[in-house]
Amino acid sequence: MDTDEGQDEDPVSLHKYLYAGANPVNQRDPSGNDFDLAGSLTAMTSGVTIFGMSALQSAIVIQGVTGSLFAMSLAGIGAALEGKSPDQIADATGSMTTMAFGALSAIGGSVAVSSKLAAYALAVISVGGGGWTAYNQYQKGNFTAAVYYGTIGVLGGILAAAVPYLRGSTQTAPTVVLKGPTPSVEPTWLGEQLILEEAEANADVIIDNVDLGDSPRLEANYGQGEWVKMKWTHQVQGAPTGVAGQSDHYVIHFFKNLDTGESVEFKFKNRL
């Protein structure tokens, strides 16, 4: 919790959860009184550049401006909800302290979600600070402001706790979807059934065993081992040979696990 009592003319400073600089997702402020600039900078990996500056310099400017605007907005809303006069609201909104604190805290907190532990700490701080501020406002009779600070604190806490998972999900390597098993061909008559059995028992021609693209899929569907693509040719005695459009042999392809002996996914690549 922020041990600083804050100042009435600077509503942002009243926020007990403003360790996070009104930006609990991106801000880290473990002591409640300072922020970790170096750590924040390491998280600036957007690579966006502006006005010819380096990506790091651009990120610092962007973070600072964003944090200032957010803090100014929050200060103005808080002052209004507390029943301040228009001048006081304007002062709070345009407070240099608010802008500077927002900018610095936004920069410093940009890596707050780099670890789950930091994010959980921020969530606790946000909820605790928001709750504490809400309680103080309630004691003063500012019910609307109490609800406001309480809600901000809870939402900030939820967001801080959730972001590491969101980041994790967006940084996960693309999932490779492997096709399922392909059923073996159905023999249309007894002769084909026998040919398939013959192929499984006698096939001795390996088509491919080193560049087999199906290996990951086969391992996923049927189990580990050295999978190879096999070929078996069954010559049909008495079948017409050399006749265009007619075949005199069956060709069967299938996959075999040389380690387990399992044979799967029989296909007729050529049939009479």
Partner 1 sequence: MKVLCIANRGDALPTQYFDPRIPRGPRSEFVVTPGQTYVVYALRFLSNQVWYYIDDDDHEWYPIRKPAPLFRVVDARLSKYWGIRVAESDHGSNVLLAFEEWLSVPGFYDRLTDREDPEVATFKERKRQMDEEFPE
Residue type, 59: A
Q: Based on the shown chain and the rule CB under 8 A, indicate whether residue 271 belongs to the binding site for partner 1.
A: no
For residue 198, the tally of other CB atoms under 10 A from its CB is: 14
Among 173, 201, 243, 244, binds partner 1 (CB under 8 A): 201
204 lies in the site for partner 1, by CB under 8 A: yes
Of 122 and 199, CB closest to partner 1: 199
User: Nearer Cβ to partner 1, position 57 or 209?
Assistant: 209
Asked if 197 is part of the footprint of partner 1 (rule: CB under 8 A), the reply reads no
Cβ–Cβ < 8 Å for 119, 160:
yes
3-state secondary structure 1-47: CCCCCCECCEHHHHCCCHHHCCCCCCCCCCCCCCCCHHHHHHCCCCC
Give yes or no for residue 249 binding partner 1 (CB under 8 A): yes
Residue 176 or 210 having the CB closest to partner 1: 210
In contact, 237 and 219? CB cutoff 8 Å = no
Minimum distance from residue 115 beta carbon to partner 1 (Å): 38
Nearer to partner 1, 85 or 233 (CB): 233
Long-range contacts of 3-7 (CB under 8 A, 24+ apart): 3/32, 3/33, 4/32, 4/33
Which range, of 20-28, 72-80, 112-120, 255-263, touches partner 1 by CB under 8 A?
Answer: 255-263
Is residue 270 part of the contact set for partner 1 (CB under 8 A)?
Answer: yes
Q: Of 21-29, 36-44, 150-158, 257-265, which part binds partner 1 (CB under 8 A)?
A: 257-265
Cα distance between residue 92 and residue 102, in whole Å: 13
In terms of Cβ atoms closer than 10 Å to its own Cβ (0-12, 13-18, 19+), residue 217 is buried
Could you say whether residue 259 binds partner 1 (CB under 8 A)? yes
Minimum separation from the CB atom of position 172 to partner 1 (A): 23
Residue of 197, 205, 224, 241 interacting with partner 1 (CB under 8 A): 205
22, 137, 229, 266: residue in contact with partner 1 (rule CB under 8 A):
229
Regarding 245 and contact with partner 1 (CB under 8 A), the answer is no
Closer residue to partner 1, CB minimum distance, 29 or 265: 265
Query: Whole-angstrom Cα distance, residue 115 to residue 94?
Result: 33
Q: CA angle 147-20-168, nearest 5°? A: 105
In whole angstroms, what is the distance from residue 259 CA to residue 47 CA?
49
The contact set with partner 1 (CB under 8 A) reads 201-214, 226, 229, 231, 233, 249, 251, 253, 258-259, 261, 269-270
